[in-house]
């Protein structure tokens, strides 16, 4: 197998794999958009919370377009499609680098942004008890999975140890060191009990933890994109040299 054929095979395999990944991203975004959108819309959640869904859909569609050009260009020796693949891949690489820089610079603003969204949920309401039953069930579900209590504060609940929120707000640890780290003191009719920290803190920590994973994935994708761009440029150079042109 000649060098050209090896590069061509590598590009085809690379593009098929990333076309499948793009299709999965697009399907996941569409599923969240159409299957769960109506359920989520039943709750008074800020429109900004839908941004990740649309970003996922856009990324999936963009990946499918890029990889289609790359795969067809490599398989059919189409210089126009392969050039389009290299240019679009270079643009995507630039966007990813800018995104990574912005994540590093503004990563500390995530908690403020999330807190602002949560604050808007409570606007014109004095406590979480004023929300409808579906929203309270939705919030209690996340309190249980994130081990938190309230949105911006445990006092978002008029009574965080009331019958609705008690199971998810009450914090019990035999180890006082763990309790003091994970929980907040609360006065319950003259008795000091402990409840979990507000959800804005726990959700921000959860997002921060996954940002490192996202960053690692972006880095791996960037490296693969660089390899793909180099491979495409090498093929284009060899094809043009064979035709008597100098790239």
Assigned domain for 211 exists: no
| pLDDT exceeds 80 at position 74 | yes
Residue with the bigger pLDDT between 152 and 124: it is 152
What is the per-residue pLDDT for 123?
A: 59
Average pLDDT, the chain: 78
Assigned domain for 61 exists: yes
Residue with the bigger pLDDT between 172 and 66: it is 66
Q: Are residues 97 and 14 in the same domain?
A: yes
Q: Which residues contact 188 (CB under 8 A, 6 or more apart)?
A: 161
Number of domain units in the chain: 2
Q: Are residues 40 and 104 in the same domain?
A: yes
Q: Are residues 169 and 102 in the same domain?
A: no
Residue matched to tokens 């890029």: 66
What is the per-residue pLDDT for 49?
A: 63
- The model carries a pTM of 0.64
Assigned domain for 208 exists: no
Assigned domain for 10 exists: yes
How far apart CA 104 and CA 110 sit, in angstroms, is 11
What is the per-residue pLDDT for 225?
A: 83
pLDDT > 70 fraction of the chain, expressed in percent and rounded: 79
What is the per-residue pLDDT for 215?
A: 73
What is the per-residue pLDDT for 182?
A: 81
* Domain around 171: 116-201
Q: Are residues 60 and 120 in the same domain?
A: no
Q: CA 172 → CA 5, 146, 189, 209, distances in Å?
A: 64, 15, 18, 25
Assigned domain for 210 exists: no
Assigned domain for 40 exists: yes
Assigned domain for 58 exists: yes
pLDDT, tens only, 129-146: 666 677 777 778 878 888
| pLDDT exceeds 70 at position 114 | no
Q: Are residues 62 and 98 in the same domain?
A: yes
Q: Are residues 139 and 232 in the same domain?
A: no
Q: Are residues 173 and 236 in the same domain?
A: no
Contact 195, 149 (CB under 8 A): yes
Q: Are residues 87 and 168 in the same domain?
A: no
What is the per-residue pLDDT for 37?
A: 57
How far apart CA 217 and CA 12 sit, in angstroms, is 21
Assigned domain for 212 exists: no
What is the per-residue pLDDT for 247?
A: 42
Q: Are residues 46 and 122 in the same domain?
A: no
Average pLDDT of the segment spanning 228-234: 87
Residue with the bigger pLDDT between 37 and 232: it is 232
Q: Which residue, 194, 192, 195, 140, is CA-closest to 164?
A: 140
Q: Are residues 122 and 195 in the same domain?
A: yes
In angstroms, the first-to-last Cα distance of the chain is 24
Residue 176: φ, ψ to 5°: -65, -30
Q: Are residues 227 and 192 in the same domain?
A: no
What is the per-residue pLDDT for 220?
A: 81
Q: Are residues 15 and 41 in the same domain?
A: yes
| pLDDT exceeds 70 at position 124 | no
What is the per-residue pLDDT for 119?
A: 66
């Amino acid at each position: 197998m000649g060098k050209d054929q090896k590069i061509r095979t590598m590009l085809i395999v690379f593009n098929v794999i990333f076309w499948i990944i793009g299709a999965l991203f697009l399907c996941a975004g569409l599923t969240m958009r159409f299957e769960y959108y109506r359920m989520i819309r039943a709750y008074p959640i800020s429109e900004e919370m839908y941004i990740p869904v649309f970003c996922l859909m856009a990324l999936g569609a963009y990946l499918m377009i890029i990889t289609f050009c790359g795969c067809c260009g490599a398989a059919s020796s189409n210089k126009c499609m392969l050039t389009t693949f290299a240019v679009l891949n270079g643009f995507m690489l630039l966007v990813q680098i800018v995104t990574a820089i912005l994540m590093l610079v503004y990563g500390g603003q995530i908690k403020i942004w999330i807190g602002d969204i949560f604050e808007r949920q409570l606007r014109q309401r004095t406590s979480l008890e004023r929300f409808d039953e579906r929203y309270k069930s939705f919030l209690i579900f996340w309190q249980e999975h994130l081990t938190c209590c309230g949105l911006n504060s445990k006092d978002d609940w008029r009574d965080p140890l009331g019958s609705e929120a008690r199971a998810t707000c009450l914090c019990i640890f035999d180890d006082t060191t763990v309790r003091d780290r994970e929980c907040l003191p609360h006065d319950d009719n003259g008795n000091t009990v402990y409840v979990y920290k507000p959800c804005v803190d726990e959700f921000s920590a959860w997002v921060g933890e996954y940002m490192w994973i996202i960053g690692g994935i972006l880095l791996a994708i960037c490296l693969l994109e660089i390899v793909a761009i180099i491979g495409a440029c090498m093929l284009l150079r060899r094809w043009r040299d064979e035709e008597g042109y100098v790239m």
